[in-house]
Structure formats: structure tokens, C-alpha cells
Amino acid sequence: MNMKRQTEFELRKISSRVFDKSTLMTLYTLTRRNSINEIVSIVSTGKEANVYYGIGGNEEVAIKIYAIETSDFKTMDKYIRGDIRFGEWKNRRQLIFNWAKKEFKNLSRIYKKVKCPRPIDVENNVLVMEFIGEGGIPAPRMKDLPPDDPEKYFNLILRYIHEMYSLGIVHGDLSEYNILNWNEPVIIDLSMGVLKSHPLADELLMRDITRICNYFKKFGIESNALEIFNSVKHKDAKENCGEDNRKGA
């Protein structure tokens, strides 16, 4: 794909259709840091965020820009309140900034052990991360391209759920809509992810597991969501107990 470097004027023209002056200034800040060199095309649009395809440094990047005015304030408040990583916020803008940082922190915690986009940078309401796809064409969602080997994918996704939990994170919105099919399952959209110490963690973990079990049931894979939930919790408790014992030794 022949891509043309965007001038500052072109960057402004693309962004000003949707985003305010503050977001434009944030994009310029990330450009100065070389996290974004150009914005090429739009990947997806939504009420909470738009995702763009671009170039940053020498690699393809996904640029997720959270909409300050149209995001669901009440939902975000529910998932971020009780998260010890964030203090109080005074207004919607501060909450959105924390929301972007939350996804960045969640990705940073898990990406070395769980297949997901590698986080690159975050500033205010803009998150820059690894682009999953090639030549500006994003990898398809598992909903749109079911796996050729459902059992392999099912087991990998369960492993990722275990790994995320052992790293202290519950995805919170896991389903075939938030998993890409790119030769293997790739977990995306971790903005709703909560720490396992969060008051909603168990409820969200059970919901994640149930959704995955229901999706793969269509392929003839039988499973028990409650047993998997208990397995995740038991394995984590056992590992933590062993770690505590080693610390005491």
C-alpha cells in the first residue's frame, strides 16, 4: 500500500471533523514524541471511541481516540470507581483521560504473556498501540471469521483468561466481538478491564467465561462455565499461596 505522509494541515483536516481542539493538541503532542507520524485511515467508529490506522516510528499503529462528549459516563464510572490505580476525577474530561490510561495500563500488564496489542503510548484521550493486521487492513474479529480449529482457540482463550487473572486483570467484556482472528486469537478492547481486587471482578470474570463457553458451544465444544471460573480462582489462590510460602522461607 502506497502511503503518503500526512502534513500537519491534513492531520487537522482528518481530525477536526470529529474531535475538539484539545484532542488535536494531544495528537500533535504524540506526533512530536514520534508515537504517531501519520494517520492514514479509519478502522472503526463507535460511541465511545474511533480507531484509526497510522504509522508511528517505523511500525504500523492503531490510534484509539476516546470521544469526550459522547462516551457513556455512567458505564465508565462503574468500571473505574474502586480501581486503586486512579484517584477521584472532577469532570467528564478527567474520567475519559483516566479511561484511556486504564486501557494502557491493562495492556502493559498483560501483553508479554497474553496475545494482545502491545501498548506504545497514551496521552489524555488518545491511546497508541500495535496494529493487528497488515498494510492497513485490520485483522477480522472472531465473530466475523470463526476459527478453523475451534478447540485450539477455545483452549488458548481459556489460557489467556487464566494468565490475565494471574496478572491481576479481568477483561470485563470478553466475547467473540473483542477477539481478533489473526492466525491465533488476539484479545482487544481492555478498557473495561478491572483489577481482580475490584468489587465487580468475580461477576465480570464469570460473565467473560460464560460468553466464551456459549460461543464455542456452537462448534460442539461442551464446557462448564462455573467449573472454569472455579479453576481460575483456585489456580490463582494456589499460586499466591506458593508465592507467600516462598517469601516466608
* Domain extent listing, the chain: 8-136, 150-248
Find out whether 64 and 126 touch, Cβ atoms under 8 Å. yes
Distance CA 231, CA 80 (A): 26
Query: Which residues lie closer than 8 Å to 117 by C-beta, 6 or more apart?
Result: 62, 107, 111, 129, 130, 131, 132, 186, 188
236 is catalytic: no
Distance CA 216, CA 105 (A): 29
Instruction: Reply yes or no on whether the pLDDT at 247 is more than 80.
Output: no
Kindly report the average pLDDT of the chain as a whole number.
88
Query: How much is the pLDDT for 83?
Result: 87
Catalytic residue among 77, 148, 149, 173: 173
The superfamily (CATH) of domain 8-136 is Phosphorylase Kinase; domain 1 (3.30.200.20)
Instruction: Reply yes or no on whether the pLDDT at 48 is more than 80.
Output: yes
Catalytic residue among 72, 189, 202, 236: 189
Please provide residue 62's backbone torsions phi and psi, each rounded to the nearest 5 degrees. -105, 130
Instruction: Reply yes or no on whether the pLDDT at 2 is more than 50.
Output: no
pLDDT confidence tier of residue 13, bands split at 50, 70 and 90: low
pLDDT tens readout for residues 127-169: 999 999 999 999 999 999 999 999 999 999 999 999 999 999 9
CATH of 150-248, one of 3.90.650.10, 1.10.600.10, 1.10.510.10, 2.60.120.10: 1.10.510.10
173 is catalytic: yes
Query: How much is the pLDDT for 88?
Result: 80
Find out whether 150 and 221 touch, Cβ atoms under 8 Å. yes
Distance CA 159, CA 140 (A): 21
Distance CA 232, CA 229 (A): 5
Kindly report the number of other CB atoms within 10 A of residue 71's CB atom. Answer: 18
Distance CA 75, CA 78 (A): 5
Query: How much is the pLDDT for 46?
Result: 81
Query: How much is the pLDDT for 229?
Result: 97
This prediction's pTM: 0.87
pLDDT tens readout for residues 65-104: 998 876 666 778 888 888 888 888 888 888 899 999 999 9
